[in-house]
Amino acid sequence: MITFAVIIGCIALMFFAASARGKPGRAVADTALLVILLGIVAVLDIVVAQFVDTGNAGQALAIAFAGGFALDALYGLLAPERQRQRDKRLRRLMKRRA
């Protein structure tokens, strides 16, 4: 239950930071990506738990991913110019791959 509360808190922080910057769409995209990553972590945890006792490794990894996304949103709020530079580099990278 605590894991769920921490992840929801991180998502709320992501929405707050993105709304403060005037870009709530970024928070929605990050949340969608986070949900996909959490699904992958859950499936991997279930599969690996069939062979090894994983303990709370899946929960810790889920909290780490959510915390990383929340820190990224907070960093974008505090240093918007560097966030823009990172976004430009990501756009260029994605255009090259397409």
How many CA atoms are closer than 13 Å to the CA of 7, on its beta-carbon side? Answer: 18
Nearest to 7 by CA among 56, 69, 49, 57: 69
* Cβ atoms within 10 Å, residue 83: 18
Model confidence, pTM:
0.75
Q: Is the pLDDT of residue 90 over 90?
A: no
Cβ atoms of 17 and 27 within 8 Å: the answer is yes
Q: What does the CA dihedral 18, 23, 27, 30 come to, rounded to 10 degrees?
A: -120
Cβ atoms of 67 and 59 within 8 Å: the answer is no
Chain segment 26-70, per-residue pLDDT in tens: 888 889 999 999 999 999 999 999 999 988 899 999 999 999 999
